[in-house]
Structure 1
Amino acid sequence: MKVVIAGGSGFIGKQLTELLVKNGHEVVILSRGIKKSSEKVAYVPWLTEEATPETELTKVDVVVNLAGVSINDGRWGGKHQKQIYDSRMIATEELIRIIRSLDEKPTTFINASAIGIYPASIQKVYTEESEVMANDFLGRTVQDWENKARRVEEWGIRTVFLRFGVVLGNDGGALPLMVLPYKLFVGGTVGSGQQWVSWIHFMDVVRAIVFVMDNQSIFGPVNVTAPNPVRMQPFGKTIASVLNRPHWFPTPAFLMKLVLGKKSKLVLEGQQVLPKVLTQEGFTFLYPTLEHALINLLKK
Structure 2
Amino acid sequence: MNILITGATGLIGRRLVDALLSQSHQLTILTRSPHRATQYVGRQVTVWETLADQTSLDGFDAVINLAGEPIADKRWTPEQKKKLCDSRWQLTEKLASLITTSLKPPAVFISGSAVGYYGDQGEEVVDEEHSAKHHEFSWQLCAQWEALARAATSEATRVCLLRTGVVLSPTGGALTKMVLPFRVGLGGPLGNGQQFMPWIHIEDMVRGIVFLLNHHDAEGAFNMVAPNPVRNAQFSRQLGEVLHRPTLFRVPASVIRLLMGESATLVLGGQQAVPKRLHEAGFVFHYQEVKPALQDVLNK
Residue 299 of structure 1 corresponds to 299
How many Å apart are 1:265 and its aligned residue? 1.2
Residue 270 of structure 2 corresponds to 270
In 2: Cα distance, 1:58 partner to 1:152 partner? 14
Structure 2 unaligned segments of length 5 or more: list them: none
Residue 158 of structure 1 corresponds to 158
Report the AA paired with residue 20 of structure 1: L
Residue 41 of structure 1 corresponds to 45
Residue 246 of structure 2 corresponds to 246
Residues 121 and 133 of structure 2 are in contact (CA less than 8 Å); yes or no, is this contact kept in structure 1? no
Residues 72 and 173 of structure 1 are in contact (CA less than 8 Å); yes or no, is this contact kept in structure 2? no
Please, what is the CA RMSD of the aligned residues?
A: 1.7
Report the AA paired with residue 44 of structure 1: W
How many Å apart are 1:100 and its aligned residue? 3.5
Q: For each residue in 1:115-168, what CA deviation from the matched residue of structure 2 results, as whole angstroms up to 9, or x when unmatched?
A: 111131221011112244540001011001111111111464101111001111
In 2: Cα distance, 1:38 partner to 1:237 partner? 39
Q: For each residue in 1:49-97, what CA deviation from the matched residue of structure 2 results, as whole angstroms up to 9, or x when unmatched?
A: xx41457x54211101111111121112221111001111111122123
In 2: Cα distance, 1:170 partner to 1:260 partner? 24
Report the AA paired with residue 52 of structure 1: D
Residue 87 of structure 2 corresponds to 87
Report the AA paired with residue 45 of structure 1: E
Structure 1 unaligned segments of length 5 or more: list them: none
How many Å apart are 1:41 and its aligned residue? 1.3
Report the AA paired with residue 150 of structure 2: R
Residue 286 of structure 1 corresponds to 286
* Matched residue count: 296
How many Å apart are 1:102 and its aligned residue? 2.8
Q: Cα distance 1:44–1:183, how it changes in 2: closer, same or farther (>3 A)?
A: same
In 1: Cα distance, 2:167 partner to 2:134 partner? 20
Tell which deviates more after alignment, 92-101 or 254-263: 92-101
Report the AA paired with residue 266 of structure 2: L
Once the two structures are superposed, the pairs formed by residues 83-232 of structure 1 within 5 Å of their partners are 83-132=83-132, 134-154=134-154, 156-232=156-232
Residues 45 and 53 of structure 1 are in contact (CA less than 8 Å); yes or no, is this contact kept in structure 2? no
Report the AA paired with residue 77 of structure 1: T
TM-score, normalised relative to structure 1:
0.93
TM-score, normalised relative to structure 2:
0.93
